Amino acid sequence: MAATDPFTAEIANIRQQVEEGLRQLDLPARPQYLYEPVRYGLGGTAKRLRPVLVTLAGRSFDADESDLLNAALAVEILHNFTLVHDDIMDGDDQRHGQASVHRRWDVSTAILAGVGMFTLSQLLIGKVLTNPVDCWTRFNQATMEICEGQAYDKQFEQSDEISLDDYLAMVGKKTGNLLGLCAELGGIIGEQSNEICAGLYRFGLLLGQAFQIQDDILEITADATAMGKSLGSDIAAGKQTVLTIAARERNPGEWQVFCRENVKLNPVDTRKAYYDYYQLTGVLQHSRQLADEYIEKARQALSELTDDQRRRLLNFADLVLTRKK
């Protein structure tokens, strides 16, 4: 589509601004124990989708560019803080194309680096001058919901009682909530009404749920090198995903037998066995359809916006829909 050319250029420009903003963070050299892993954790081959969404949403309402950049950097650093701690909790060894922080150093270093990142995110959201109290309040409310989502994620491990509704509520808090915040911050900085900001949050929330469903699928279908992170950890940890829940709900007895028979395979063979099972039973197709449904609901959440205001956000939804990693 011809319309995607300027959009692709805009995305590249936003990512460049974010990378430059991260490089220009005024971080001391010492103590090295803190700041070296912080810099490392903010590097790698990250997609920067969250700061892109903040910026696109804000530009839809002619928001102040300086405020948007500070908010974009704040949510990206917050996101990376959650990843550092998430990798510790899930035992993931790779993130953004490099060793995870706790694997590159150790768990104690990674915990402190994560806390440092969270503090940096607070300092940056505090630099936003347009509706600063609203931005700071929503930023911290969203952070608390992310913590709740992670708690449910850990609580749900190895449980056969978790329904698809439970799962979607959990990923709404853990993943969708942050994307909702990103879109909403663009509206707040763009000085939009509470109703418009609520619609933007719902757009990001639903998009985030679709994003996580896709992530579950990519955990099974993608190449680890292309993804830039370790794959198969969800299976090893017994995590609930849209795939495992759909498989269990379709045929509980068959699923139980399959899991028991494949528990002792090596990680590569395990991933292949699960992929083959999901493909054969139609679970993969069902999960992809579910992701598409949530993306469509996200689009509908923007019904109060004008066509011009929706344009960037709908293009962003398409970007999420077609991603391969």
Residue range 97-115, pLDDT digits in tens:
888 889 888 999 999 999 9
Q: Which residues contact 156 (CB under 8 A, 6 or more apart)?
A: 162, 166, 167, 170, 239, 240
Residue range 76-100, pLDDT digits in tens:
999 999 998 988 888 888 887 888 8
Q: What is the pLDDT at residue 234?
A: 67
Per the CB < 8 A criterion, the answer to whether 15 and 53 are in contact is no
What is the maximum alpha-carbon separation in the chain?
58
Q: What is the CATH number of domain 4-321?
A: 1.10.600.10
Nearest to 313 by CA among 148, 191, 187: 187
DSSP secondary structure string for all residues of 91-151: T--EETTEE-HHHHS-HHHHHHHHHHHHHHHHHHHTT--SSHHHHHHHHHHHHHHHHHHHH
Nearest to 132 by CA among 88, 178, 189: 189
CA distances from 154 to 43, 48, 53, 63, 175 (A): 27, 25, 28, 38, 14
DSSP secondary structure string for all residues of 241-303: -HHHHHHHHH-HHHHHHHHHHHTTS-HHHHHHHHHHHHHHHTHHHHHHHHHHHHHHHHHHTTT
For 59, the enclosing helix (H) or strand (E) is helix 49-59
Q: What is the pLDDT at residue 3?
A: 47
Which structure tokens are listed for 273?
Answer: 């066995």
State yes or no: pLDDT of 224 exceeds 90: no
Is the four-CA dihedral 135, 320, 218, 260 of positive or negative sign?
positive
Residue 157 DSSP class: T
Domain-wise residue ranges, the chain? 4-321
State yes or no: pLDDT of 229 exceeds 80: no
pLDDT band at 316 (very low <50, low <70, confident <90, very high): very high
pLDDT band at 233 (very low <50, low <70, confident <90, very high): low
pLDDT band at 11 (very low <50, low <70, confident <90, very high): very high
Instruction: Report the alpha-carbon distance of residue 231 to residue 65 in Å, rounded.
Output: 37
State yes or no: pLDDT of 239 exceeds 80: no
Residue range 132-173, pLDDT digits in tens:
999 999 999 999 999 999 999 888 887 788 899 999 999 999
